[in-house]
């Protein structure tokens, strides 16, 4: 596999450019970091953040599987 393909094949397979895919994936990473933080707080004090992590993960799952990503970033241009 050519080096360039490591950065272009997968984004193209979901209809995004590398930059678009980076923004979407980084947004998912940020949401997961918030969910992880909420879960850590909940582990220490069970009465806090009782639904924060699960709600955020449910929202991410829905976005990933509903095709919402396609509406966030226009389809990649043909190479």
Domain ranges in the chain? 5-72
Q: What are phi and psi of 28, to 5 degrees?
A: -65, -40
* pLDDT tens for the chain, residues 1 to 79: 899 999 999 999 989 999 999 999 999 999 999 999 999 999 999 999 999 999 999 999 998 888 655 555 444 333 3
CA 38, 42, 44, 48 torsion-angle sign: positive
pTM above 0.75, yes or no: no
What is the Cα–Cα distance from 36 to 56, expressed in whole angstroms? 10
Token output for 37:
């933080």
């Amino acid at each position: 596999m050519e080096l360039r393909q490591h950065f272009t094949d997968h984004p193209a397979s979901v209809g995004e450019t590398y930059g678009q895919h980076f923004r979407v994936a980084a947004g998912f990473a940020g949401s997961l970091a918030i969910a992880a933080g909420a879960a850590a707080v909940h582990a220490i004090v069970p009465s806090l953040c009782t639904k924060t992590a699960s709600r955020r993960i449910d929202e991410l799952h829905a976005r990933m599987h509903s095709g919402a990503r396609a509406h966030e970033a226009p389809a990649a241009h043909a190479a």
